[in-house]
Amino acid sequence: MNDKKTTHFGFQEVPVEEKAERVAEVFHSVAAKYDVMNDLMSAGIHRLWKRFTIEASGVRAGHKVLDIAGGTGDLSYQFAKLVGSNGQVVLADINASMLGVGRDRLTDRGIAGNINFAQCDAQFLPFPDNTFDCITIAFGLRNVTDKDMALRSMLRVLKPGGRLLVLEFSKPQSEILSKIYDTYSFKVLPFMGKLVTNDAESYRYLAESIRMHPDQQTLKEMMDNAGFVRTEFHNMTGGIVALHKGIKP
Protein backbone atom coordinates (compact mmCIF):
# COMPACT_ATOMS: atom_id res chain seq x y z
CA MET A 1 0.00 0.00 0.00
CA ASN A 2 1.34 3.43 -0.96
CA ASP A 3 0.94 5.98 1.84
CA LYS A 4 2.85 8.70 0.03
CA LYS A 5 0.81 11.91 0.03
CA THR A 6 0.04 13.44 -3.34
CA THR A 7 -1.44 16.70 -4.57
CA HIS A 8 -2.39 18.07 -7.95
CA PHE A 9 -0.04 19.88 -10.29
CA GLY A 10 -2.49 20.97 -12.95
CA PHE A 11 -4.27 17.74 -13.90
CA GLN A 12 -1.37 15.54 -12.75
CA GLU A 13 -1.04 13.89 -9.33
CA VAL A 14 2.43 14.49 -7.88
CA PRO A 15 4.06 13.88 -4.47
CA VAL A 16 3.31 16.77 -2.10
CA GLU A 17 6.99 17.59 -1.66
CA GLU A 18 7.46 18.01 -5.43
CA LYS A 19 4.71 20.55 -6.11
CA ALA A 20 6.50 23.70 -4.92
CA GLU A 21 9.54 22.88 -7.04
CA ARG A 22 7.42 22.24 -10.13
CA VAL A 23 5.49 25.49 -9.67
CA ALA A 24 8.83 27.26 -9.22
CA GLU A 25 10.03 25.92 -12.57
CA VAL A 26 6.91 27.30 -14.28
CA PHE A 27 7.45 30.79 -12.90
CA HIS A 28 11.22 30.78 -13.49
CA SER A 29 10.35 30.03 -17.10
CA VAL A 30 7.75 32.79 -17.56
CA ALA A 31 9.06 35.55 -15.24
CA ALA A 32 10.72 37.74 -17.87
CA LYS A 33 7.62 37.87 -20.10
CA TYR A 34 5.03 37.57 -17.31
CA ASP A 35 3.57 41.08 -17.67
CA VAL A 36 3.46 40.93 -21.47
CA MET A 37 1.59 37.62 -21.29
CA ASN A 38 -0.84 38.95 -18.64
CA ASP A 39 -1.80 41.80 -20.94
CA LEU A 40 -2.17 39.47 -23.91
CA MET A 41 -4.06 36.74 -22.05
CA SER A 42 -6.61 39.07 -20.47
CA ALA A 43 -6.65 41.80 -23.16
CA GLY A 44 -5.51 44.13 -20.37
CA ILE A 45 -8.54 43.38 -18.16
CA HIS A 46 -6.27 42.09 -15.36
CA ARG A 47 -5.51 45.75 -14.63
CA LEU A 48 -9.19 46.42 -13.89
CA TRP A 49 -9.40 43.34 -11.64
CA LYS A 50 -6.38 44.60 -9.71
CA ARG A 51 -7.74 48.15 -9.50
CA PHE A 52 -10.96 46.79 -7.98
CA THR A 53 -8.86 44.86 -5.45
CA ILE A 54 -6.94 48.01 -4.46
CA GLU A 55 -10.22 49.91 -3.99
CA ALA A 56 -11.66 47.08 -1.86
CA SER A 57 -8.56 46.93 0.35
CA GLY A 58 -9.28 50.03 2.43
CA VAL A 59 -5.52 50.61 2.61
CA ARG A 60 -4.53 54.13 3.65
CA ALA A 61 -1.54 56.14 4.86
CA GLY A 62 0.51 54.45 7.59
CA HIS A 63 -0.79 50.93 6.96
CA LYS A 64 1.32 47.79 6.72
CA VAL A 65 0.48 45.65 3.70
CA LEU A 66 1.64 42.17 2.71
CA ASP A 67 1.36 41.39 -1.01
CA ILE A 68 1.77 37.58 -1.23
CA ALA A 69 2.69 36.09 -4.61
CA GLY A 70 3.28 39.73 -5.49
CA GLY A 71 5.42 38.77 -8.46
CA THR A 72 6.13 41.68 -10.72
CA GLY A 73 4.74 44.22 -8.27
CA ASP A 74 1.50 45.56 -9.81
CA LEU A 75 -0.36 45.68 -6.48
CA SER A 76 2.72 46.58 -4.41
CA TYR A 77 3.32 49.64 -6.58
CA GLN A 78 -0.18 50.99 -5.88
CA PHE A 79 -0.03 50.08 -2.18
CA ALA A 80 3.36 51.80 -1.74
CA LYS A 81 1.80 55.04 -3.00
CA LEU A 82 -1.23 54.63 -0.70
CA VAL A 83 0.62 53.85 2.56
CA GLY A 84 3.09 56.72 2.16
CA SER A 85 6.37 57.23 3.98
CA ASN A 86 4.97 56.10 7.36
CA GLY A 87 3.56 52.86 5.97
CA GLN A 88 5.20 49.69 4.77
CA VAL A 89 4.61 47.23 1.94
CA VAL A 90 6.17 43.77 1.83
CA LEU A 91 6.23 42.17 -1.61
CA ALA A 92 6.49 38.43 -0.94
CA ASP A 93 6.92 35.64 -3.46
CA ILE A 94 8.16 32.07 -3.23
CA ASN A 95 9.88 32.44 -6.58
CA ALA A 96 13.26 34.22 -6.78
CA SER A 97 12.91 35.02 -10.50
CA MET A 98 9.52 36.70 -10.04
CA LEU A 99 10.78 38.57 -6.98
CA GLY A 100 13.79 39.83 -8.96
CA VAL A 101 11.57 41.10 -11.77
CA GLY A 102 9.30 42.81 -9.22
CA ARG A 103 12.21 44.47 -7.42
CA ASP A 104 13.66 45.79 -10.69
CA ARG A 105 10.31 47.08 -11.90
CA LEU A 106 9.53 48.92 -8.66
CA THR A 107 13.02 50.43 -8.53
CA ASP A 108 12.63 51.61 -12.14
CA ARG A 109 9.30 53.21 -11.21
CA GLY A 110 10.88 55.13 -8.34
CA ILE A 111 9.46 53.12 -5.44
CA ALA A 112 11.89 52.89 -2.52
CA GLY A 113 12.01 53.42 1.23
CA ASN A 114 8.62 51.98 2.18
CA ILE A 115 8.86 48.62 0.40
CA ASN A 116 10.63 45.42 1.41
CA PHE A 117 10.98 42.09 -0.37
CA ALA A 118 10.67 38.60 1.09
CA GLN A 119 11.15 35.25 -0.58
CA CYS A 120 8.80 33.02 1.38
CA ASP A 121 6.12 30.36 1.25
CA ALA A 122 2.51 31.44 1.95
CA GLN A 123 2.09 28.33 4.14
CA PHE A 124 4.90 29.43 6.48
CA LEU A 125 4.90 33.23 6.57
CA PRO A 126 8.01 34.43 8.48
CA PHE A 127 6.33 37.39 10.20
CA PRO A 128 5.17 37.97 13.79
CA ASP A 129 1.52 37.56 14.77
CA ASN A 130 -0.73 40.61 14.22
CA THR A 131 1.65 42.49 11.88
CA PHE A 132 -0.37 43.59 8.83
CA ASP A 133 -3.46 45.73 8.26
CA CYS A 134 -4.10 44.11 4.90
CA ILE A 135 -2.92 41.03 3.00
CA THR A 136 -3.48 40.43 -0.69
CA ILE A 137 -2.77 37.35 -2.76
CA ALA A 138 -3.50 37.82 -6.46
CA PHE A 139 -3.44 34.81 -8.79
CA GLY A 140 -1.25 32.91 -6.35
CA LEU A 141 -3.42 30.84 -4.02
CA ARG A 142 -4.14 28.17 -6.64
CA ASN A 143 -0.39 27.40 -6.80
CA VAL A 144 -0.07 26.83 -3.04
CA THR A 145 0.24 23.17 -2.00
CA ASP A 146 -1.86 23.38 1.20
CA LYS A 147 -4.32 26.24 0.81
CA ASP A 148 -5.92 25.72 4.25
CA MET A 149 -2.52 26.01 5.93
CA ALA A 150 -1.76 29.16 3.92
CA LEU A 151 -5.07 30.79 4.92
CA ARG A 152 -4.37 30.07 8.60
CA SER A 153 -0.86 31.50 8.18
CA MET A 154 -2.32 34.70 6.68
CA LEU A 155 -4.87 34.98 9.50
CA ARG A 156 -2.08 34.71 12.08
CA VAL A 157 -0.02 37.60 10.69
CA LEU A 158 -3.01 39.91 10.16
CA LYS A 159 -3.92 42.41 12.88
CA PRO A 160 -7.36 41.98 14.45
CA GLY A 161 -9.76 43.81 12.13
CA GLY A 162 -7.31 43.43 9.25
CA ARG A 163 -8.54 42.12 5.93
CA LEU A 164 -7.47 39.45 3.49
CA LEU A 165 -8.19 39.85 -0.21
CA VAL A 166 -7.84 36.83 -2.50
CA LEU A 167 -7.99 37.68 -6.21
CA GLU A 168 -8.11 34.47 -8.22
CA PHE A 169 -9.47 32.81 -11.32
CA SER A 170 -12.71 31.07 -10.47
CA LYS A 171 -15.74 29.35 -12.02
CA PRO A 172 -17.62 31.10 -14.86
CA GLN A 173 -21.29 31.55 -14.02
CA SER A 174 -22.78 30.54 -17.39
CA GLU A 175 -22.36 27.32 -19.37
CA ILE A 176 -21.79 29.21 -22.63
CA LEU A 177 -19.06 31.38 -21.09
CA SER A 178 -17.54 28.27 -19.52
CA LYS A 179 -17.25 26.51 -22.89
CA ILE A 180 -15.74 29.57 -24.60
CA TYR A 181 -13.31 29.96 -21.69
CA ASP A 182 -12.26 26.29 -21.87
CA THR A 183 -11.53 26.54 -25.59
CA TYR A 184 -9.53 29.73 -25.03
CA SER A 185 -7.61 28.28 -22.05
CA PHE A 186 -6.60 24.97 -23.60
CA LYS A 187 -6.15 25.96 -27.24
CA VAL A 188 -5.23 29.66 -27.40
CA LEU A 189 -3.21 30.13 -24.18
CA PRO A 190 -0.58 27.42 -24.81
CA PHE A 191 -0.22 28.70 -28.38
CA MET A 192 0.36 32.27 -27.11
CA GLY A 193 2.79 30.94 -24.50
CA LYS A 194 4.76 29.16 -27.20
CA LEU A 195 4.80 32.27 -29.37
CA VAL A 196 5.79 34.81 -26.69
CA THR A 197 7.85 32.81 -24.17
CA ASN A 198 8.67 29.68 -26.22
CA ASP A 199 6.95 27.74 -23.43
CA ALA A 200 3.55 26.18 -24.15
CA GLU A 201 3.76 23.74 -21.22
CA SER A 202 3.83 26.40 -18.48
CA TYR A 203 0.69 28.00 -19.86
CA ARG A 204 -1.00 24.61 -20.18
CA TYR A 205 -0.23 24.12 -16.47
CA LEU A 206 -1.70 27.56 -15.64
CA ALA A 207 -4.94 26.66 -17.45
CA GLU A 208 -5.13 23.30 -15.65
CA SER A 209 -4.35 24.84 -12.23
CA ILE A 210 -7.29 27.24 -12.66
CA ARG A 211 -9.64 24.27 -13.24
CA MET A 212 -8.38 22.54 -10.09
CA HIS A 213 -8.86 25.61 -7.87
CA PRO A 214 -11.87 25.64 -5.49
CA ASP A 215 -14.96 27.43 -6.81
CA GLN A 216 -16.30 30.62 -5.25
CA GLN A 217 -18.44 29.07 -2.50
CA THR A 218 -15.84 26.45 -1.58
CA LEU A 219 -13.10 29.07 -1.15
CA LYS A 220 -15.45 31.20 0.97
CA GLU A 221 -16.06 28.18 3.22
CA MET A 222 -12.30 27.52 3.44
CA MET A 223 -11.79 31.11 4.62
CA ASP A 224 -14.59 30.65 7.20
CA ASN A 225 -12.96 27.43 8.42
CA ALA A 226 -9.57 29.17 8.72
CA GLY A 227 -11.16 31.67 11.13
CA PHE A 228 -12.03 34.66 8.95
CA VAL A 229 -15.33 36.46 9.52
CA ARG A 230 -17.63 38.53 7.27
CA THR A 231 -16.33 36.56 4.29
CA GLU A 232 -17.76 37.43 0.90
CA PHE A 233 -16.87 37.26 -2.77
CA HIS A 234 -17.47 39.42 -5.80
CA ASN A 235 -17.51 37.89 -9.29
CA MET A 236 -15.87 39.77 -12.14
CA THR A 237 -15.97 39.08 -15.88
CA GLY A 238 -18.80 36.58 -15.45
CA GLY A 239 -17.06 34.66 -12.66
CA ILE A 240 -13.87 34.02 -14.62
CA VAL A 241 -12.26 35.90 -11.74
CA ALA A 242 -13.51 36.40 -8.17
CA LEU A 243 -12.34 38.62 -5.33
CA HIS A 244 -12.81 37.03 -1.91
CA LYS A 245 -12.62 39.15 1.21
CA GLY A 246 -12.38 38.15 4.87
CA ILE A 247 -11.71 39.94 8.16
CA LYS A 248 -9.64 38.76 11.13
CA PRO A 249 -11.86 38.90 14.24
Binding positions: 72, 93, 121-122
Binding-site residue ranges for S-adenosyl-L-methionine: 72, 93, 121-122
* Cα 137 to Cα 92: distance, rounded to the nearest angstrom: 9
Nearest-angstrom CA–CA distance, 138 and 116: 18
How far, in whole angstroms, is CA 55 from its chain's centroid?
17
Check if the beta carbon of residue 77 is closer than 8 Å to that of residue 89.
no
Query: Whole-angstrom Cα distance, residue 249 to residue 230?
Result: 9
CB 80, CB 89: distance < 8 Å: yes
Q: How far is CA 204 from CA 15, 47, 97, in A?
A: 20, 22, 20
